[in-house]
Structure 1
Amino acid sequence: MNTAPADRTDAAAPAAAPSWSVGDVTVHRVDEVPLPPGTGAWLLPEARPEVVRQQDWLYPDFADRGGVLRLDSHAFALTVDGLRVLVDTGIGNGKERANPAWHNLRTDFLERLTAAGFHPDSVDLVILTHLHADHVGWNTREVNGEWVPTFPSARYVTSRTEREFWSTYDMEEARRQMFRDSVIPVEEAGLLDLVDVPAEGAEIAPGLRLLPTPGHTPGHLAVELTSRGGRALITGDCIHHPVQLAHPAIGACVDIDPARSEVSRRELLASLAGTDTLVLGTHFAPPTAGLVVTHENGYRLSPVPAAPRTSPR
């Protein structure tokens, strides 16, 4: 699980973010850091190499020939109805974390976000699929020794069920630290909005809907985007890796409710299979996006490559 911090050592401008068109909306993937090779075996212990190797379609993008899974940390940025939106905020820089692969990172995430056309001061809405350390880290950045909101003009949104669950949870110190540096400063700034998300979902802007996908955490959300007949679905951690399409019963070691997580995953995949909905995996390695198609006794991901990289106008 050890990995060296991703440290920017040159002054070159970051490459333009990969993107996909969904109707009139462009969704940008803003890269933070590839996760180390040991992540998959730890996170999805039932995705053993022999299980992974049975799915040839996972190669070469989502796994290597030895059955080692590839996973990434990234966010998605888009503009809808005039709102500049960021979905999840990754691990963050300079955060004290128990996981050595997440500890004290020094990445160029904000430069990449800005290069995609989303300067932190311009972001209007930050959607948090759930409150785990690798999804809330860039909520804040350190300024003069204090953690302050990275997106000071944004409304940060998560499920009320999610926040209320953690408010009564007996946290270990590492999780308390994460809340101290990445959640509580946003609350104290009055920027965190809690949303009630019924079974049918909650529309928070025209064409942008939060869908309940509980299990990984009690208030976990997926994010649905619709525009001019196009549809996309950002998975959050309901699905960590495409191997779970072939084997929906494979869950994450950190699922709060593994049985409910499997139900959410199966229901979501069944609703996506055979449709033209673009699925964007929050931890899927490039090409990151694809269509869900039936395959053997489960599903597989048919990749949809990102558009050619071009600099934003």
Structure 2
Amino acid sequence: MTSPLSIGRHRLLSVKDGAFRMPRNFLGDGREHPELLSDDGKVWLPIGAFLMPGDEPLLIDAGLAHGFPKPEIMTGGALLDELATLGTHPEDVRHLALSHLHPDHVGWVATKRGGVTFPNAQVYIAQGDWDHFIDAANYGPPPWVRQALCDLAERGRVTMIEGERQIVPGLTALPAPGHTPGHTVFVVHDGRERAMLLGDAIYCPQQLTAVDWSAATDVDPLLARQTREWLWREIDSSGAAAVGPHFPGLQAGRVLGRRWQAVPHA
């Protein structure tokens, strides 16, 4: 968890659920990426989520949770404890916005033994991802999460997103396809101040300025690259802060030409 990022009247808190050990051939051309290496000589990226606190707390992405079958690659499970340190409990969350439906972004939607985690939350999912992962049953959420999402949809607790859409005042969803068909970035805004939450459209800051670095999990690599190019231009021209759930330290920053500069927290 980092200090709050202020966007006008809004606050954004990053919350860590676990860690992803990035394989050498996962990103770009398979080189070592020395700029991302940890002290142990491996690349460890966080698995994170983002909280907008307030009268109706909103959570963006839901981590991995426990039980991923390949713990040597990804581990999770810390999200609820981290939220509790912020004074937010599962029943407090009123909105859950998902960037996409890969396992490390939906893990706490529901657990295998505990069922739905956030009982009072409306869930927001892009129609394109629902079609690809739920209706067509491509690899994505574990079975208990898929079933929970279907049950929530039947109860009117899932809102499908198509195109640009305001989720709540101060948070807008923008389509950013390629990594998945319905991949979504979320923009926190107040007046001219903006922060972009990039999901997996951008795994790490270096990928913003090296847009040819494709991720092994991109469903449509060509479209994903076009989305990265658009995001780079948008962040550069607008001066918006940007952060993704796998950014080292969950640290937001800005693009300055071809350089990335961390944003000081409030």
Instruction: Give the equivalent residue in structure 2 for 1:249.
Output: 212
Query: In the alignment, which of 44, 47, 51 is matched to residue 73 of structure 1?
Result: 47
* Residue 154 (structure 1) aligned with residue 126 (structure 2): no
Q: Could you tell me how far 1:32 is from its partner in structure 2?
A: 1.4
* Residue 34 (structure 1) aligned with residue 19 (structure 2): yes
* Residue 302 (structure 1) aligned with residue 248 (structure 2): no
* Residue 213 (structure 1) aligned with residue 186 (structure 2): no
Instruction: Give the equivalent residue in structure 1 for 2:59.
Output: 86
Instruction: Give the equivalent residue in structure 1 for 2:160.
Output: 195
Query: Residue 170 and residue 196 in structure 1: after superposition, are their counterparts in 2 closer, same or farther (change >3 A)?
Result: closer
Q: Could you tell me how far 1:128 is from its partner in structure 2?
A: 0.6
Deviation digits for residues 63-117 of structure 1, max 9, x if unmatched? 459985441111100036x431000011012x353464336x5x33211111112
Q: Map residues 127-138 of structure 1 onto 2, 5 A cutoff.
A: 127-138=97-108
Query: Residue 188 and residue 154 in structure 1: after superposition, are their counterparts in 2 closer, same or farther (change >3 A)?
Result: same
Whole-Å separation in 2 of the counterparts to 1:261 and 1:92 = 26
Structure 2 letter corresponding to 1:153: N
Structure 2 letter corresponding to 1:22: I
Q: Note the aligned Cα RMSD (angstroms).
A: 2.4
Listed as ranges, the gaps of 5+ residues in structure 1 are: 1-15, 308-313
Structure 2 letter corresponding to 1:240: Y
Q: Map residues 102-113 of structure 1 onto 2, 5 A cutoff.
A: 102=74, 105=76, 107-113=77-83
Q: Map residues 146-185 of structure 1 onto 2, 5 A cutoff.
A: 146-169=113-136, 171=138, 175=140, 178-185=141-148
Query: Residue 73 and residue 196 in structure 1: after superposition, are their counterparts in 2 closer, same or farther (change >3 A)?
Result: closer
Deviation digits for residues 216-250 of structure 1, max 9, x if unmatched? 00000000010243211000000011121231011
> Which SS does the other structure have where 1:268 is aligned?
helix
Structure 1 runs, 4 residues or longer, greater than 3 Å off = 62-70, 98-103, 167-172
Whole-Å separation in 2 of the counterparts to 1:67 and 1:301 = 23
The TM-score, its normalising length taken from structure 1, stands at: 0.76
Q: Is the 8 A contact 2:187 2:196 kept in 1?
A: yes
- Share of identical aligned residues, percent? 26
Structure 1 letter corresponding to 2:81: E
Deviation digits for residues 128-178 of structure 1, max 9, x if unmatched? 100000000011135xxx341110000011101110122353646xx4xx3
Query: In the alignment, which of 108, 111, 123 is matched to residue 141 of structure 1?
Result: 111
Listed as ranges, the gaps of 5+ residues in structure 2 are: none
Structure 2 letter corresponding to 1:133: P
